[in-house]
Amino acid sequence: MSSGKSGEDADSLYYLDLSHPSLARAIDAKATGSAVVPKFVEVDVLEVTNPKKHLVTFDVSYERPAAPRALLGSFSLYPADNPGKFLVPTQGRVREKGTIILSLTTPDRTDSHDTVRVAVRRPKLVNQ
């Protein structure tokens, strides 16, 4: 995935929390140098701060210019404070320039004192 910023790399960490639940990254599926349509979006969750163990779910969507956002899939942390690497199928939809959107949600009732914070690497396209 490419964001267009030269100082940004795949090892950068991004933080999502209840106040800032989304991360959007521009991609160009054709710029991967392969004629093969990417099969998965890989999301690497490295750190989780969730002391009350609220259910944490992530939605992965794809949005092309001048087209509606398409939900590719979702995954949950289990247990709710456990990091990991997750693959979400692209369903053959990710074929050109667009944006991958990673959104953190929790169906649990939370208040302003609850902490739910995750550190993720920039989502990337893979063919595994």
What ranges do the domains of the chain cover?
Answer: 13-126
- What average pLDDT is seen over the chain? 88
* Spatial contact of 54 and 108, defined as CB atoms under 8 Å apart: yes
Q: How confident is the model at residue 33 (pLDDT cuts 50, 70, 90)?
A: low
Give the per-residue SS3 of 7-67: CCCCCCEEEEECCCCEEEEEEEHHHHCCCCCCCEEEEEEEEEECCCCCCCEEEEEEECCCC
Q: Is the pLDDT of residue 128 over 80?
A: no
pLDDT digits (tens, 9 = 90+) for 69-97: 999 999 999 999 999 999 999 999 998 88
Model-level pTM?
Answer: 0.86
- CATH class of the domain defined by 13-126: mainly beta
